[in-house]
Amino acid sequence: MTTPLTLTPGRSADGAARLAVTGEIDLSNSHLLAAALEDLPGPLLLDLTGVTYLDSAGLSVLFSHAERLEVLATSLIAPVLSVSGLTDLLSEPR
């Protein structure tokens, strides 16, 4: 069973490409996030403020695109990124 996940592409206030993610990112749906990131070339603001769970499958996707991501995350997800070594991706809210 696939865990519900919503992916909404758009633009940030400064015009940068943005992908807002809502729900849980896990093994059942991480391929959807990977596909969305592949479809959005160049630097990208990844808004994870609507994410309530992020497992190792989701982290693997983030690692694959780390060189071009800037990530917005809540205090719920930020520690997972920190422990995983992805702290440098974290951004202040825009």
Q: Does the pLDDT of residue 10 top 60, yes or no?
A: yes
Whole-angstrom distance, CA of residue 83 vs CA of residue 49: 18
- The fold of 5-87 is Transcription Regulator spoIIAA (3.30.750)
Q: Does the pLDDT of residue 89 top 90, yes or no?
A: no
Q: What are phi and psi of 35, to 5 degrees?
A: -65, -40
In the chain, where the domains are located: 5-87
Q: What are phi and psi of 67, to 5 degrees?
A: -65, -15
**This prediction's pTM:** 0.91
pLDDT for position 4: 92
